[in-house]
Amino acid sequence: MPLRTAVADGVARVTIDVGRCDACGRCVQVCRGGPLQWGGDHIEVDPRRMFGCTGCGQCVAACPREAIHVEGRGLAVEDQRPLPAAGQRADFGQLNALLQARRSCRVFRPEPVPTEDVHRILDAARTAPVSLPPSGVGVLILPGGNEVREFRRGLLDVVARRRWLFRPPVVWLLRARLDAAQYRLVRSFVAPLFDAYLGRRPEVAPGEDYFFHRAPLALLFYASSTSHPADATIAATHAMLAAQSLGYGTCFLGFPGFLLGQDRGLRRRYGLPEWARPGLALVIGRAAVPPVRGLRRHFAREDWVFNVPSES
């Protein structure tokens, strides 16, 4: 039965060029949607098996003879392209150096990010894995300082209207729905942060942008109601690393998506589809204060698990 998602229905079409196919069977080995099966001396396609072709593209990737094509569920034949040469791919040392040099940037220079770089960042972000193909991720692109400021203004209206929700008596009432650590965090962080966004804290200088850090580019990632919410986060992470590799400073913002999710009017104004579940925002620009020293980071916990005794 075809997988029906918010953005796709039906199966993709798999075509095998029998003139090229030497029936090596690699495509059958990697197919999990189920339509490919071994037919004795050839490959058979049966779209009624299991989910039919979901458009995952594993068969295309595995075929050494370019004998298999998939169309539909977001894929076109032109989407099939050669892999980057091995020597072009970042190795661990290069990738790790990029990761170790990254820091969140909260002071941006005002110059815009050229459109060409926005496209490069999106091109890299589109490679992100998704919970179920085709991608249910969408991205709202605010391509300049004016657009980011206007978006921020809309979100600050939501903050101003919802500020009462984070006042101590209401938070106290909400505590039954939060664990102790969440309750303390809302009290100590969210309420003062929203005041800072609104410029109502003495520590925030007049005109300071504590919310979007005056970034010249913002990307707001969202995922469909049938996607895993992590899909938007993974795409945003790819975009962050791509921007970093182009020499930009970046910072994730958690609250724009949360606030957008609270306001139907704003979602409509920005053309978000009904199925959109707003996720992470990413701001990008040239860093005014680039990092000159690194930090060793730690997870809260790392537990290697060997030979766990079986439950008696």
Ligand X SMILES: Cc1cc2nc3c(=O)[nH]c(=O)nc-3n(C[C@H](O)[C@H](O)[C@H](O)COP(=O)(O)O)c2cc1C
Applying CB under 6 A, which residues contact ligand X?
A: 103-104, 106, 251-255, 280
Q: How far is the CB of 283 from ligand X (least distance, A)?
A: 9
Query: Concatenated DSSP letters for 258-295?
Result: HHHHH-HHHHHHTT--TTEEEEEEEEEE-BSS---S--
Is residue 198 within 8 A of residue 191, CB to CB? The reply is no
- Given the structure tokens 């990761």, which residue do they identify? 99
* Cα 150 from Cα 264, distance rounded (Å): 17
* Residue with smaller CB distance to ligand X, 145 or 256: 256
Nearer to ligand X, 70 or 287 (CB): 287
| Three-point CA angle 254, 194, 176, nearest 5° | 80
Q: Closer CB to ligand X, residue 103 or residue 267?
A: 103
In the block, tokens 């690393």 appear at: 241
Residue 280 CB, shortest distance to ligand X, in Å, is 6
Task: Supply the minimum distance, in Å, between the C-beta of residue 215 and ligand X.
Answer: 10
Burial of 112: CB neighbours in 10 Å, binned 0-12, 13-18, 19+:
middle
Q: Which is nearer to ligand X, 159 or 251 (CB)?
A: 251
H-helix segments, 198-245: 230-245
Helical (H) or strand (E) element with 197? helix 191-197
| Nearest residue (CB) to ligand X, 27 versus 282 | 282
Tell the smallest beta-carbon distance from residue 296 to ligand X (Å).
11
Least distance to ligand X, CB of residue 259, Å: 11
Q: How many CB atoms lie within 10 A of CB 12?
A: 24
Of residues 87 and 207, the one with the C-beta less far from ligand X: 207
Element (H, E) at 189: none
CB of residue 234 to ligand X, shortest distance in Å = 12
- Minimal CB distance to ligand X: which residue? 254
**Location of structure tokens 């060997």:** 306
